[in-house]
Amino acid sequence: MHPPRIAFVIFDGFQSLDLAGPHEVFRRAGGYDCTVVAPVPGPVRAESGLPVHAGHGVATLPPTGIDTLVVTGGAGVYTARHDPRLTGWITAAARGARRVVSVCSGAFLLAEAGLLDGRRVTSHWARVERLAREYPAVTVQPDPIFVRDGHFWSSAGVTAGMDLALALVEEDQGQQVALEVARHLVLFLRRPGNQSQFSVGLWSMQPSSDPIRQAVAAIHADPGARHNIADLAARAGLSSRHLQRRFTAELGIPPAAYVERVRVEAAQGALENGGDPLDAIARRYGFGTAETLRRSFQRCLGVTPSDYRDRFRSTLGEHR
């Protein structure tokens, strides 16, 4: 039997890591035939200027016999999606593929081909608003690292394509193989798809006034301290009601929710880099109890603290 074929679609201006990351995961796992296809065969220039050789063009590679179709993203996607040769080949390949995958803004190519109508997808956080606006028949989910809807899979940007590829390897060959690939590539153990792609720097706006900057600085300086509305208002020199209103207007999120997200990110670091009990981490970062910590993780990240630690704990200690 022939190994399942993974066909990677690239184009001028594609994001090189959208190809190289997943390609490396599949090749490291073994048991796959990895093929790169472009509008025409030969050198293709990535968005960064890196030249990549496409072994096949859409006119010479039959769209049949493909197990997993992986469509990369990148700034060039906005031009590539208007190439009828490319979208036609993608449509034909998707018709017979067991799985259809977009990485980052590769979702624009699938959407242009009409393949995502009525489906749930994600993309890079900077592209999701445009994707939703230009393809209203697609249900765009901006937060997850990757999304599965039937045999269609989509991922957020760049390195999230590796998380998705690890999930596909796990589906095909089991968890142990996926974990070995992650270890070899010096990755954190696979992140679950519903893990948020946003960190504090991305999920909130920046404060625009000194009083709110002071409140935000106090939260980050000591996430585990008391940060109720009255405390934050006192630091900002505002009334509680005024603080609530201005904080939400400037950062796009209420103070209590902001405090929770900062505490969750602080706890994430503790889970990744240490072995402290959950109760101790919960007390240190202002959650009080392990149960409150668990509820916050589920609400913000869609995963329990224990599962997060299992997937993300640093392996540095194993090699000392």
> Is 104 among the residues known to form the active site?
yes
Strand 152-155 versus strand 99-103 pairing type: parallel
Phi, psi of 266 (to 5 degrees): -65, -40
Instruction: Exactly one of 104, 115, 160, 282 is catalytic; name it.
Output: 104
Both tokens assigned to 67: 């197990």
Phi, psi of 296 (to 5 degrees): -65, -40
Angle at 170 between CA 142 and CA 3, to 5 degrees: 115
Cα 216 versus chain centre, distance: 26
Task: List Cα–Cα distances, 71 to 13, 81, 106, 177, in angstroms.
Answer: 13, 11, 5, 24
Cβ(8)–Cβ(73) below 8 Å: no
Residue ranges with strand state E in the chain: 5-9, 33-38, 42-45, 51-54, 56-57, 68-71, 99-103, 120-121, 139-140, 146-149, 152-155
Residue among 302, 127, 3, 299 nearest 311 (CA): 302
Residues in the chain: 320
User: What is the rounded CA–CA span in Å between residue 108 and residue 111?
Assistant: 5
User: What is the rounded CA–CA span in Å between residue 320 and residue 315?
Assistant: 9
Angle at 158 between CA 223 and CA 65, to 5 degrees: 140
Cβ(47)–Cβ(91) below 8 Å: no
Q: Which residues are catalytic?
A: 104
